[in-house]
Amino acid sequence: MQKRFLLSTLITLISIVVGNSQTTQDSVSIAVNENSDSAEELKGLVLDMDKQTALPYANIYVLHKNKGTISNEKGHFSINIAGLDKTDTLRFQYIGYKTKNITIGQLDTSSFVYLKENIINLSEILVFGSNPDAKSIVKKVLENKDSNYRKTTSKNLVFVRERDITEFDEINFNLKKSSITQLDKEMIALVEEKIPRQTISYTDFLGNIYQSKNQDDSVTLKVDPLRTVSLKEKDMSDLDQIERVFEDVFKDIKDEEYWKVKSGIFSQKIEDENEEQKNDSISENDEPRKDTLNENERWLKYYSRSINYRLKYTLMNDKDEWEFLHKTGKYDYTLVGGTRVNGEDVYIIDFTPRSGGRYIGRMYISINTFALVRADYEYGKEKVGRDIHLFGIGYTENQFSGSIYFEKKDDNYVLKYFSKKTGFSASFDRNVSLLKKRKRFLFDKKLNEIKVGIDMSMDIEESTEYLILDGKDIPHKQFADFEQKERMEIIYVVQFDDNLWKGYSILEPTKQMREYKKQEVK
């Protein structure tokens, strides 16, 4: 979800200095549209039989029917049973647990489903030799990654849920100087007053994602949205008015002019998305473009870039987020046993951090191919990511949890789902200048400047859940022929409403999302 201009500018200021300093569910997911007037729902909770803990992202589907869902991050599920009989069977599957079949008639409208852990002694699946070393197994995941996770040209029906929470503990602005008449002391004071101390955003997306395996294509991912719903502030008129003032100021640039944000020795040019839109090639036969959006629209190309960026997590290339694969010397690994996943034998390996490691979790790795089938992990106790405190900047990555699951199709492993939650606390106590400049041969000329002392602290949490509901490989021509639209329509609401998804089989929203309602800005 795109953050508002003012808020994103503040966060950008922190990221600029943090980046330079290093060198000196609540969810609703949609399954299949049943095109039915009935919205009869069967709800329940999937739990570990022994530990009584919730099992997130369990697969639930009706045998012999094209209907299914996945439990949410709290283990809750909801499935549309319109048109089904009480004798129809629901199958519950969770990696590392015994599969359970239950008829609809055996379940109440609100039911608990208990699954039994299924850890097999390795002697039952390994015929020769002693148990292998856990660390050597983990090392083989990256060694065999390219052969196990081969790119294909595909079309996938996906659900994506994004949640962003920002809480400001303190915001103080002190205008030092300004040569921009619209941005005077009164306006800066109004900005300080109107910025919400807490913002929470939920966005749910259902659509088709087209991906090309051909890296020579100018675009390798395209989006075909079917429905997008976002919780929106009930009344943001004051902040909207302020934002328009800033937008008008920043749009007032001529050729060879640009804006730069500067704090001390750190500076960065502000990229102009509008300029990029104007530079997009348009053939003579194209219809004239509308360069502005309606309130319920979003530029689809930016959303597709966001999806492409989030999917980079699934490549396992990031040495920080996948430290337990790339830096095995920082971890202790325990071979717990084995289990079977879709007829495939896999190792179950737990890992804990040594002094230099960050994460604690569990992996499921194929015995035959050494593919990572599933991983669930989070920061260990008292562990954090980057922790920087200098030049008036405080930045601590204090939250991380990840979960990912791949399904084997023929001799390849394809993504079924992933979830990732990150969080950080930040403080900023510096003078910041926004400079308008004109390019010249030697030194660019300063045209306008606003300088503000900023003292603020905040906590930010971001989470993404990406579920593939149906997918298939397609010919490259089908990918090339599909034309992505320019705009995506968004349904904005102030509170979750079941009627939005009537006729769909949905993943049950958690209590927090059902009860959450956007507050008016005061």
Burial class (CB in 10 A: 0-12, 13-18, 19+), 448: middle
Predicted pLDDT at 272: 59
Any idea what DSSP says for residue 35? Answer: -
d(CA 351, CA 329): 12
Predicted pLDDT at 130: 62
d(CA 73, CA 52): 15
Predicted pLDDT at 181: 86
d(CA 407, CA 504): 25
Tell me which amino acid residue 379 is.
Answer: Y
Predicted pLDDT at 322: 98
Yes or no: say if 112 and 100 are a contact pair by the CB < 8 Å rule: no
Any idea what DSSP says for residue 150? Answer: -
Predicted pLDDT at 284: 43
* Bridge partner list, 304: none
Instruction: Point out the residues of the chain with pLDDT beneath 70.
Output: 1-39, 108-110, 125-130, 232-241, 271-291, 501, 503-507, 510, 517-522
Q: Beta-carbon neighbour count of residue 131 at 10 Å?
A: 13
Tell me which amino acid residue 71 is.
Answer: S
d(CA 178, CA 114): 64
Predicted pLDDT at 516: 72
d(CA 136, CA 404): 21
Yes or no: say if 43 and 505 are a contact pair by the CB < 8 Å rule: no
Q: Which domains does the chain have, with CATH numbers?
A: 5-29+138-515 (no CATH), 30-127 (2.60.40.1120)
Residue 154 three-state SS: strand
Please give the C-alpha separations between residue 391 and each of 18, 143, 263, 397, 469, in angstroms, as whole numbers. 10, 41, 10, 18, 47
Predicted pLDDT at 278: 46
Strand runs labelled E in 410-483: 412-438, 445-473
Residue 331 three-state SS: strand
Question: Smallest Cα–Cα separation from 471: which of 232, 293, 264, 208?
Answer: 208
Predicted pLDDT at 27: 34
Classify each residue of 338-354 as buried b or exposed e, where b means 16 or more C-beta atoms within 10 Å of its C-beta: bbbbeebbbbbbebebe
